[in-house]
Amino acid sequence: MRLATWNVNSLRSRVDRVEAFVDRHEIDVLALQETKGRPDQLPLMGLEARGYEVAALGVNQWNGVAICSRVGLDDVQEGFTGMPGFGDPVAPESRALGAVCGGVRVWSLYVPNGRKVDDPHYVYKLEWLARLRQSAGSWLGEDAALVGDWNIAPLDTDVFDIKAFAKDTHVTPPERAAFNAFVEDGWSDVVRPHQPAHDTYTYWDYYRQRFERNRGMRIDFVLGSPSLARRVSGAFVDKDERDPAQGTGSPSDHAPVVVDLA
DNA sequence: ATGGTCGCGATGCGA
């Protein structure tokens, strides 16, 4: 079974790339983030014609997650217990979507960005992660994957220049502690062992030709439960999907992450 | 320290 996660930065503007991606790699389960549209706005016909069932959430301009599966889509869950809101009473639900696909519990996660370290959204991010961790504990015993855009770079080498991030979110000790708490619970990054240490990025900002200069960040992860991690036979980041010179139309600022399960 | 580029949806805002 082949599982992928991708912050697609608008499914409507990228559906051709998404369809070509699932065809090229024969993806069984695709978790999407930043779909940027209500489910009724999303162009899903092409995916459904390929045999995918789709569950989607999304209520405003940037939040929005989906799961596309051609190996079953059961027990769909919108959000998790205690998932905190941030003012907007409807936005929180669009950040997490769970389903059981081919026997694997998959969560498509769009962790709050946090904006600035002195911003209330930063506190919200940490609270959101703490609540997710509480719920995730009950999935550790099954084949489960917490996938998506975590908006955290756990290691200094996961950003192109750690000195440039001195005052920024994504690398602060509390965010890294929140990420590492999942690891300490038993969730593991199942992709990193399959990558060279110097080539781990999943995101390159649109500004200043960051992709062309390989000034990126590693913020998209597939965290597997112990039993799922034992099934992983391979993994890779499809950087071609971030390359403006490849494919049609403009790319997302994130590359998809692909994991193979035995 | 600033600004650079996207997507959305009609203007600035969030990433």
- Per DSSP, A35 falls in state -
The CATH superfamily of A2-261 is Endonuclease/exonuclease/phosphatase (3.60.10.10)
**What is residue A250's predicted lDDT score, i.e. its pLDDT?**
92
Taking C1' of B13 and every protein CA, the nearest residue is: A61
Q: Which residues touch strand B (CB under 7 A)?
A: A 9-10, 12-14, 36-37, 61-62, 112-113, 115, 121, 151, 206-208, 244, 249-250
Question: Averaged over A152-176, what is the pLDDT?
Answer: 96
**What is residue A63's predicted lDDT score, i.e. its pLDDT?**
84
Please confirm, yes or no, whether A88 is among the known catalytic residues: no
- A101 has pLDDT over 90: yes
Question: Averaged over A97-105, what is the pLDDT?
Answer: 98
Q: Which of A149, A158, A189, A238 is catalytic?
A: A149
Question: Averaged over A179-184, what is the pLDDT?
Answer: 98
Cβ contact A37:A47 at 8 Å: no
Q: Would you list the domain boundaries of chain A?
A: 2-261
Instruction: Give the span between the Cα atoms of A53 and A35, in whole angstroms.
Output: 16
Quote the pTM value.
Answer: 0.96
